[in-house]
Amino acid sequence: MKIAIAQINSVVGDIKGNCEKIIRYGFKAKKKNADIVIFPELALSGYPPEDLLLKRHFSDCNKEFLLKIAKACKGIMLIAGFVEKNGGVLYNSCAVIHDGKIVDVYRKIKLPNYGVFDEKRYFSSGDVLPIYILGVFSFGLSICEDIWQGDFFNSVWRKKLDFIFNISASPFHLGKIAQRENIISVLAKKTKSFVLYCNMVGGQDEIVFDGTSSIFSPQGKLLARAKRFQEDLLVFDLAAEHEPIKKEPVEPAREAFEALRLGLSDYVSKNNFKKVVVGLSGGIDSAVVISLAAFALGRENVHALIMPSVYTSKSTFEDAKKICDNLGVSFDIVGIDSVLSSYSKDLKVCLKEIKRTKTEENLQARIRGNILMAFSNTYGHLVLNTGNKSEVSCGYCTLYGDMVGGFGILKDVPKTLVYDIASYINDIVPGTIPFSVIRRPPSAELRPNQKDSDSLPEYDLLDPVLKLYIEDDYSLAEIIKKGYKKNLVKKVISMVDANEYKRRQGPLGIKITSRAFGKDRRMPITNKFMQ
């Protein structure tokens, strides 16, 4: 028995294109003499389809193209996820196609409704878990969340199965791959079956699917693994001898880099952009963003705008040009002093002296934002925002200024991890980001001798507190018990809570932590709850 796992990158709503890709991979699997080929959860519709599911003709379109897949793929059993409408009710379903016909449909039983998931908003739960027979082999089907429930299979399946399929659209976050593989391993040992896990790959808005489809033995050993962050076709012969694979840990910086690169590449291509523009300051954040863009899109598709002011140091200005030279990306230099002077002069009519005040700092950020958007309007480039999670969490950013942009690559990346990613980029191509950028104390350079630490705690202190509060939902008292000073924790929590209104108006960005702003964490703006 040969089984193929088709780890594909579906596009939400492109049912025709996804259908063609499923057929193409079905033929590839057949050429490799596979008896069965399995595809990810909602491979036909893309995941998550969100309110497309409320359009009546969306599910009809799923059915139409599913029949085309069945007609095209003969001589191989094909298992793929699709949106099913039955009696006016929607299901997250999996079709079993054999000899050109849809012979059965399995409906997802456990519907996740947390984090980025809203499945109970759209789908009804299935209640049947059938056993399938193919030749001398017996197998069962499951969809994503079904296997994340510890007692699910023990309570339903009493009979020994040869193998279990799980088709998934399981989003990535740091540590998720190891967590997921542990769950699959436990399932394989409990059921004493081979478990073949097929995960989606690709970027969809703020979500990234890492793929990393895998096969586990009845002893819970990892036998095979598909590529991470790439499409792949993994063919596995159940009858052959297989040695277990060692689970080698991957550095968070590398995982984050690969997730961000894929998320950016797919957001650009799937939304019909060709090129991007980055406001390059010579600081660590914009250096990492433009480097990721060059790796993801090719240097010919990346442009930088260097926008110095009277407060820009010579070293950061020179570093910005050096980064462009190192990456081979084009750039323009657009000074903002004359525009700032004009603003200051004209605003005297309604404002008092604004020089070296918060107003002047924000004006500089907004002037730069306007320049970036003007470039975007003229040439059609997507503006990449460069703000990181630490800054966004605390509101250390300017509305309509450094918060402008169509996509925020670092929106869910803490500042300390930004430095780690910079080091990883330099491991890939030594010297890409100058060492002077990495060692320089971070600064917005909006006033003389400004440092981030003038307004924020040092990032080595700030980031752990932010993680405890935002990702782990710890209270003030619980964080203090972890050993952090009360004044520090109160300040951080106050900044986070006070700046929800800013985050709501910022660009979407790629999720790489266990709890990102947006779908993961939905806090009210008007909020008087005391910690």
pLDDT per residue as tens digits for the range 255-271: 999 999 999 999 999 99
pLDDT digits (tens, 9 = 90+) for 396-419: 999 999 999 999 999 999 999 999
**What's the pLDDT score for residue 146?**
87
Residue 247, CA atoms < 13 Å, CB-side half-sphere: 15
pLDDT digits (tens, 9 = 90+) for 174-183: 999 999 999 9
- Band of residue 450 on the pLDDT scale cut at 50, 70, 90: confident
pLDDT digits (tens, 9 = 90+) for 351-372: 887 877 899 999 999 999 999 9
Calpha distance 41→59 (Å, rounded): 15
Other beta carbons less than 10 A from residue 448's beta carbon: 9
Among the listed residues 140, 116, 115, 137, the one whose alpha carbon sits nearest the alpha carbon of residue 126: 140
Beta strands 89-98; 101-107: pairing state = antiparallel
% of the chain residues with pLDDT over 90? 83
Name the catalytic one among 21, 41, 119, 361.
41
pLDDT at position 241 over 80: yes
Among the listed residues 209, 216, 293, the one whose alpha carbon sits nearest the alpha carbon of residue 8: 209
Candidate from 87-91, 451-455, 472-476, 509-513 with smallest mean pLDDT: 451-455
**What's the pLDDT score for residue 273?**
97
Q: With 0-12 CB in 10 A as exposed, 13-18 as middle and 19+ as buried, what is 266?
A: buried
Q: Does residue 318 have an active-site annotation? A: no
Q: Name the token pair of 100.
A: 């050109």
Question: Which spans in 33-175 are helix H?
Answer: 56-72, 119-122, 152-156
pLDDT digits (tens, 9 = 90+) for 280-306: 999 999 999 999 999 999 999 999 999
Other beta carbons less than 10 A from residue 471's beta carbon: 18
pLDDT at position 328 over 80: yes
Calpha distance 328→330 (Å, rounded): 7
Name the catalytic one among 61, 144, 394, 397.
144
**What's the pLDDT score for residue 445?**
83
Output the average pLDDT for the chain: 94
pLDDT at position 118 over 90: yes
Domain boundaries 2-250, CATH class: alpha beta
Calpha distance 10→146 (Å, rounded): 21
Calpha distance 154→189 (Å, rounded): 11
Q: Which amino acid is at 280?
A: L
pLDDT digits (tens, 9 = 90+) for 45-75: 999 999 999 998 999 999 999 999 999 998 8
Mean pLDDT within 368-384: 97
pLDDT at position 155 over 60: no
pLDDT at position 531 over 80: no
**What's the pLDDT score for residue 158?**
59
Residues sharing a CB contact under 8 Å with residue 358, sequence separation 6 or more, in sequence order: none
Among the listed residues 361, 326, 322, the one whose alpha carbon sits nearest the alpha carbon of residue 343: 361
Calpha distance 396→522 (Å, rounded): 20
**Sequence spans of domains, the chain:** 2-250, 254-455
Whether cis (ω within 30° of 0) applies to the bond prior to 48 is: yes
State pTM to two decimals: 0.95
Domain boundaries 254-455, CATH class: alpha beta
pLDDT at position 94 over 70: yes
pLDDT at position 2 over 80: yes
**Better-predicted residue by pLDDT, 145 or 20:** 20
pLDDT at position 530 over 80: no
**What's the pLDDT score for residue 159?**
66
**What's the pLDDT score for residue 323?**
97
Name the catalytic one among 21, 73, 108, 322.
108
% of the chain residues with pLDDT over 70? 98
**Better-predicted residue by pLDDT, 353 or 44:** 44
Strand partners, 224: 215
Q: Does residue 108 have an active-site annotation? A: yes
Q: Does residue 198 have an active-site annotation? A: no
pLDDT at position 154 over 80: no
